[in-house]
Copies of this chain bind each other. A is one copy, B any other.
Amino acid sequence: MLTIADKTFHSRLFTGTGKFGALAIMEEALLASGSELVTVALRRVDARAHKNGSEEDQLLKYLRHPRLHLLPNTSGVRNSREAVFAAELAREALGTNWLKLEIHPDPRWLMPDGVETLIAAEELVKRGFVVLPYIHADPVLCKRLEEVGVAAVMPLGSPIGSNKGLKTADFLEIIIAQSRVPVVVDAGIGAPSDAARAMEMGADAVLVNTAIAVSADPVKMAAAFRLAVESGRMAFEARLAPVATEAVASSPLTAFLD
């Protein structure tokens, strides 16, 4: 079981709500994933007040399940000031102080801004938020965020939406080795095998959205990720065999007819 701040999770697979073809499919996929924490862009929720009955309004209805906790995110903000403002709106609108803090000033590459994230994180922790910052796989930044009191760190595996997998593995290893808060690998996980690998490395959880949402069969893919995350965690606990540089046969090799 994974504990972050005041919540305990049976599932180490966190999910998102973007890019699904239909809300009913999204709901079914989220349930199939076994996920207990799902991130929602504040923008989609906030619109509710203005456009009653709209698609955005509907979103929350599909997310009302006893097991499912919401993790509002600040996607779309460009600096710490906007992030703090968005966080307060989210707390009010959704009645939760949990927050996925993401700040990416550049609309093309969507890379997170670590400096602004640190400033916002410090302020939001003071304001009573449970902050999970989405950041580059930068070991020093992760430590500094830990020092200002974030509840977990969410380093990226590769550029968001790229499905490229764990390109930052060498740095994730350092982050995992030195972190005192849970490490959730976010962004870039394109296949269950990527999720399994992150868990095998010792990540505490992974967040997957695009890879499930844009699959030809999101419900089946969600179930596949569920198994992969469980598998990777078990492998971490059972400890992987070391990678060998010379071949070692698993069957006896004394020549058969000798």
Contacts and interface: CB of A to CB of B under 8 A. Distances in A.
User: Of A141, A226, A227, A230, which is in contact with the most chain B CB atoms at under 10 Å from its CB?
Assistant: A227
Interface in A83-103: 85-86, 102
A129 interface: no
A178 interface: yes
B256 A43 contact: yes
Q: Give the size category of A's interface with B.
A: 35 or more
A114 interface: yes
B18 A249 contact: yes
Contact of A113 (B105, B140, B225): B140
22 contacts: A43-B256, A74-B256, A75-B256, A76-B256, A77-B255, A104-B253, A106-B139, A111-B139, A111-B140, A113-B141, A136-B140, A136-B171, A162-B248, A196-B196, A196-B228, A209-B251, A215-B235, A215-B240, A216-B238, A221-B234, A224-B234, A224-B238
A66 interface: no
B161 A141 contact: no
A224 B232 contact: yes
Interface of A: 16, 18-19, 39, 41-44, 73-78, 82, 85-86, 102, 104-115, 118, 136, 138-141, 143-144, 158-164, 167-171, 174, 178, 190-194, 196-197, 200, 209-211, 213-218, 220-221, 223-228, 230-232, 234-235, 237-257
A39 B171 CA distance: 25
A96 to B, nearest CB: 17
Given A114-B140, A192-B231, A244-B162, A16 B107 contact: no
A75 B41 CA distance: 41
A247 B162 contact: yes
> How many copies of this chain are found per oligomer?
4
A234 to B, nearest CB: 4
Given A138-B111, A197-B193, A221 B247 contact: no
B193 A200 contact: yes
A196 B231 contact: yes
